[in-house]
Structure 1
Amino acid sequence: MSEPTVVARDALAGTRVGFSVSESADLGRLGLTELHCQLVVAEVTRAVLLAGGTVVYGGRLKPEGYTQIMLEEAQRFQDGTASIEIVLAETEFQKLTVDELDAAQQRLGRLGRIRYILAEGREVPLSALPTTPRTVSPIDALTAMRRIVTQSTDARVLVGGKLRGYAGREPGLIEEARLSIEHGAVLYAVAGFGGAAAAVSLARASSRPAWMPSLFPDAADTEPVQNAMASLHASARAPKSAWDGLDDADRELLERTHRPADIATLVVRGLANVGRRRA
């Protein structure tokens, strides 16, 4: 893939971008696979890093999946500055020993850092992790991690996301979108891969886009998802977050495109425009 040089290298200096991504049940009907989501992750991560921004991802270390893709991009393009943050919920870091967590941080080196969030919502260093695994609620642990990520980022990118079989009190990407809206962060919902990101995009639209197939995204009409969407609408600034730096044509393209380069270009261009306005 070509390098997405879309703005000046320092255009996103000081900008912290949260990434929310997982496979969606709609990929098959759209003629896509999880590989297409992975390509988006690589392209957007690369573009943000090249523009001087920081990527923040609430994920996991094993299996690495999207985490590894982000780290590979950091290793290819960064000059040793901290640019990737992996934020672990307590239910995730409990799966590894302290030695394994320390080794993971050593592999990161100056490229980034790993952050540890206790289920009660407090961030602690590796040296202060509980010496024995605690019994914690996975729902509380995930929500605590998502709140910390939101509070420490300026923007969030949503791609895919489960609407069935998710871990947490509601679909993770919908919860993250709601938290971002309440925080006043810039929100980019990439609807072209379906899933929770498409549900968020549809909730924020004035009308249903012509390109969306019927009964899309899958499971959007189920009671748990409808309840989650009601919470999204009831949030302080719903259904719109901060200005995204895009015009209507760009926003429509971001909503429907499957092309990783288009998505990366639009996200970084929008954030650069937001930064210029704030300056």
Structure 2
Amino acid sequence: MMSKDEARTDLLPPDALKGKRLGISVSDSPDLDRLGLLDTHFRMTLGELARAVVIAGGSLFYGGHLQPEGITNFLVEELHRYGRRDRPLKVCLAWTVHRLMTAKQIAEQKEFLGLFGEVFFLSPDGQRLDGPVDEPPQQSFASEEHAAALSGLRSFMTDNTDARIVIGGKREGFQGNMPGIFEEVLFSLERHQPLYLAGGFGGATLDVIRTLRPAFAEWLPALPDGAEPYQRLNDGLVRLGEVASAQKWDGYENGLNEEEGCLLAASYRPSEIAALVGKGMGRLLVKN
């Protein structure tokens, strides 16, 4: 197996990822306590990814929100450290996110992004709009509207990025027919998009790895204490396996070799994860 030092030393030269766009899929994992990890490990990993991709000339696509203390603000603060002022961060807002915001809130956050990022406002079905809707904000949305808007967001991000990194992911309390992480991976498989599945934080990402590359997930038992998975969780994993088989594509055509893919599937070390993603994307760029 490749050593951890080897994973860290293959650094990318400046502009190695110029023109490359990395989609970020990250959410809380129910396995953190079990693994002895904290939520801050997520942010440390995102910070390292931002550093690796942005310094090498790439851009980051994140589908989230513009609320204070959120991931978007964290990423902008990280970008302040690296000097890229050509808006390398693309914040994609689902319809049901930006339509809940006032014009003042949107203006404040766009000002905060400044030269470090730009906002893509999406329609209910995930099409990019010219800007925010010039109407008073809505007060609420039905659960079906939330689910449809999130699917549109995930489809947009997949169509407009070159690769996707996936970390964590909850197994319950999700909207729609399957966890969001599953749907994001599903869209990537359907479009033959390279995936970087960082499984060291557990969660839905490790469930995906266990479905696509079972040997890569042997380091953690599937279910603690014999707990039974939710039916929708099982159905989603079955669907992922079917799509990967039909497409003859499991996302691991990502520039990493077998040893490196196995290491990424178990790593929780921010610098190691960032180095592996950068290495894989860099190799893809050379090939293409």
1:103 shift after superposition: 2.0
| Corresponding position of 1:251 | 261
Distance 2:10 2:103 in 1: 39
RMSD (CA atoms):
2.3
- Residue 61 (str. 1) matches residue 66 (str. 2): yes
Q: 1:215 to 1:205 in 2, by over 3 A?
A: same
- Residue 191 (str. 1) matches residue 196 (str. 2): no
**If the length of structure 1 is used for normalisation, what is the TM-score?**
0.91
1:23 shift after superposition: 1.0
Spell out the pairing of 1:118-129 with structure 2 (5 A cutoff): 118-129=123-134
| Corresponding position of 1:153 | 161
Distance 1:78 1:220 in 2: 48
Give the number of equivalent residue pairs: 276
1:174 shift after superposition: 0.8
| Corresponding position of 1:207 | 215
Q: 1:130 to 1:6 in 2, by over 3 A?
A: farther
Matched-pair contact (CA < 8 Å) for 1:246–1:266: yes
Per-residue CA deviation, residues 138-184 of structure 1 (Å, 9 max, x unaligned), is 11011011111111000000000011112333201110011011112
SS of the residue 2:167 aligns to: strand
SS of the residue 2:19 aligns to: coil
Matched-pair contact (CA < 8 Å) for 1:26–1:217: no
Distance 1:128 1:209 in 2: 44
**If the length of structure 2 is used for normalisation, what is the TM-score?**
0.88
Q: 1:102 aligns with which of 93, 107, 117?
A: 107
Per-residue CA deviation, residues 196-248 of structure 1 (Å, 9 max, x unaligned), is 11111111114364311341699783211111112212325265126211111
SS of the residue 1:148 aligns to: helix
Spell out the pairing of 1:215-254 with structure 2 (5 A cutoff): 215=223, 221-235=229-243, 236-237=246-247, 240-241=250-251, 243-254=253-264
| Corresponding position of 2:147 | 139
Distance 1:92 1:238 in 2: 35
The one-letter code of the counterpart of 1:106 is E
The one-letter code of the counterpart of 1:23 is D
| Corresponding position of 1:271 | 281
The one-letter code of the counterpart of 1:17 is L
Distance 2:12 2:238 in 1: 37
Q: 1:244 to 1:219 in 2, by over 3 A?
A: farther
- Residue 87 (str. 1) matches residue 92 (str. 2): yes
Distance 1:146 1:220 in 2: 28
| Corresponding position of 1:30 | 35
SS of the residue 1:44 aligns to: helix
Distance 2:224 2:170 in 1: 13
Q: 1:219 to 1:255 in 2, by over 3 A?
A: farther
Q: 1:217 to 1:181 in 2, by over 3 A?
A: farther
Unaligned runs of 5+ in 2: 1-7
Q: 2:178 aligns with which of 156, 170, 181?
A: 170
Spell out the pairing of 1:1-80 with structure 2 (5 A cutoff): 6-80=11-85
The one-letter code of the counterpart of 2:263 is L
Distance 2:126 2:42 in 1: 29
More off after superposition, 125-134 vs 29-38: 125-134
Q: 1:21 to 1:135 in 2, by over 3 A?
A: closer
